[in-house]
């Protein structure tokens, strides 16, 4: 499959899924299709020329995985062990740990504000 075919398939999928989601929110078919197409156009315009990699199952597993890796790291697991176990580069692992730490700190601060 050519890169052009992949790009067309991705944008068609974005348009279709966006339309499905807004239909679930009660938007009529004509407007849902228009919104889906507009979102796909926006993605093409805003991201055109970029190389983007989507991790598998990112929407579901990323936060669970981040929490697990953060807990293991805090429990004493070293970078080399975590890199092997989770099949990551050192740079990727360090970025993930920073992101997970930032999110964890932010959620603790939010909880203290809610009290």
Residue 80's pLDDT is 96
| pTM of the predicted model as reported, rounded to 2 decimal places | 0.49
Indicate the domain borders of the chain. 3-47, 58-114
pLDDT per residue as tens digits for the range 49-105: 888 877 665 444 556 788 889 999 999 999 999 999 998 889 889 988 988 887 766
| Residue 35: pLDDT over 80 | yes
Across 2-6, average pLDDT: 89
What are the b/e assignments for 60-77, b being 16+ CB within 10 Å? eeeeebbeebbeebeeee
- Say if CB 43 and CB 17 are below 8 A apart: no
pLDDT band (50, 70, 90) for residue 39: very high
Q: Both ends of the chain: CA-CA distance in Å?
A: 55
d(CA 86, CA 62): 12
Range in 7-21, 24-38, 73-87, 99-113 the model is least confident about? 99-113
Tell me which of 31 and 99 has the higher pLDDT: 31
- Where helices occur in 1-115 by DSSP H, the ranges are 3-24, 29-47, 58-74, 79-86, 90-114
- Say if CB 32 and CB 19 are below 8 A apart: yes
- Following DSSP, what letter does each residue of 73-89 receive, concatenated? HHTT--HHHHHHHHT--
């Amino acid at each position: 499959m050519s890169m052009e075919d992949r790009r067309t398939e991705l944008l068609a999928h974005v348009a279709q899924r966006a339309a499905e989601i807004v239909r679930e929110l009660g938007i009529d078919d004509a407007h849902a299709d228009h919104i889906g197409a507009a979102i796909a156009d926006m993605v093409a315009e805003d991201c055109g020329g970029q190389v983007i990699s989507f991790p598998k199952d990112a929407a579901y597993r990323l936060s669970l995985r981040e929490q697990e890796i953060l807990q293991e790291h805090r429990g004493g697991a070293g970078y080399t062990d975590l890199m092997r176990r989770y099949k990551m580069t050192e740079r990727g692992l360090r970025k993930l740990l920073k992101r997970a730490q930032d999110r964890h700190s932010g959620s603790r601060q939010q909880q203290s504000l809610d009290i």
